Amino acid sequence: MTEPTLLVLDTDPLPRLDRLSGRARVVHADEKSLVEHLPQADVLLVWDFLSDAVKQAWPGGGPRPRWVHTPSAGVDRLLPELAASPETVITNARGVFDQPIAEYVAGLTLALAKDFRGSWELQREHRWQHRETKRVGGTRGVVVGSGPIGRAIGRTLMALGVTVDLVGRTERTGDPEFGRVHGNDALGGLLGDADWIVCVAPLTEESRGMFDAAAFARMKPGAHFINVGRGQHVVEGDLVEALTSRRIAGAALDVFAEEPLPADSPLWEVPGLVISPHMSGDTIGWRDDLAEQFLDNFDRWEAGEPLLNVVDKGLGYVPST
């Protein structure tokens, strides 16, 4: 039996690669050489999942790999282009980021409520300035995105005493943890009551730009907006306007329309805006976890078993069962 060819988009060595020894021929490609290697690949691992190279190389000429895995939750850097190849299955990293991102969002929520950044700025100036801060318990949060990451965020906020409204693509009732999951069409009505608005939706044509001037206009003056989804969910200029006019109290962005955020971006200096470099899910050992998850799926693929975490290319995410 011939070893299948695993094409890895990334020139660095993969963690845990010893598990494939004798089972696959591993070929590395960079963004430029990807297109020429694609016809020989049985499996494509998009290890550099922040690259747009796969989109650009697809469909190109010759046969395409039957399985493409991205070690990310979002598949917006593969779709809609890969939907043109119905024989190619896409899988993602569903699950790995749930708890890390939930912790990150809970931490941001508490840090914003307790004004930690204000304390740290005062510390720089050696200034002792007591302030009264907000309680998180008893507040309301809206989490936009009802996949496993959104659910983990909602659960963690509820554990802190926050009343959580979870918003997904379509409304459903009888959810064991959240009762009702609201549909996207209910979002406008929910924004006005929320102290915390968290975006963790998949990026689709429907969700692109959903946080715009109209959305910020519905929020309370005391509201905080947190984006751990994709930069393109937000009309960044509208958020800047909402913050500088104090339409809302603050925001934290971990994702941006352009990444890395350029040093001359005006976003760095917007008052009330906290910036972090797309790291909410990336805890120590995450690359090992992502590699293990892919390799577990490789075991299934090799054995002819159904793959886990198969993306619905029409929806743009792995549907909940």
Binding site for a second copy (CB under 8 A): 99-100, 103-104, 106-108, 110-111, 113-114, 116-117, 119-120, 122-123, 126-137, 156, 159-161, 259-261, 263-265, 268, 274-279, 282-286
* Of 117, 278, 287, 292, catalytic: 278
Name 163's bridge partners.
140
Query: Nearest to residue 71, comparing CAs of 266, 291, 247?
Result: 291
CA 59 centroid distance within chain: 25
Query: How far, in Å, CA of 139 to CA of 160, rounded?
Result: 10
Cβ proximity to a second copy: between 32 and 130 the closer is 130
Cβ proximity to a second copy: between 91 and 139 the closer is 139
Cβ proximity to a second copy: between 91 and 156 the closer is 156
Minimum gap (Å) between residue 177 Cβ and a second copy: 14
**Is 259 part of the annotated catalytic residue set?**
yes
**Is 69 part of the annotated catalytic residue set?**
no
Query: How far, in Å, CA of 253 to CA of 151, rounded?
Result: 19
Tell me the pairing of strands 172-175 and 179-183.
antiparallel
Cβ proximity to a second copy: between 65 and 74 the closer is 74
Minimum gap (Å) between residue 302 Cβ and a second copy: 30
Minimum gap (Å) between residue 128 Cβ and a second copy: 4
165-171 LR contacts (CB < 8 Å, sep 24+): 165/140, 165/141, 165/190, 165/194, 167/142, 167/143, 169/206, 169/315
* Exposure of 20 in the CB half-sphere (CA atoms within 13 A): 25
Minimum gap (Å) between residue 254 Cβ and a second copy: 9
Minimum gap (Å) between residue 156 Cβ and a second copy: 7
**Is 126 part of the annotated catalytic residue set?**
no
Q: Contact at 8 Å (CB) between 40 and 5? A: yes
Cβ proximity to a second copy: between 85 and 283 the closer is 283
Query: How far, in Å, CA of 289 to CA of 267, rounded?
Result: 32
230's CB contacts (< 8 A; 6+ apart) are: 74, 76, 203, 255
Name 143's bridge partners.
166, 198
- Supply the DSSP symbol for 220: -
Cβ proximity to a second copy: between 84 and 279 the closer is 279
Minimum gap (Å) between residue 218 Cβ and a second copy: 23
Residues in the chain, overall count: 321
The DSSP result for 160-186, as a single string, is TT-EEEEEESS-EEEETTTEEEEEGGG
* Of 259, 300, 302, 305, catalytic: 259
Catalytic residues: 230, 259, 278
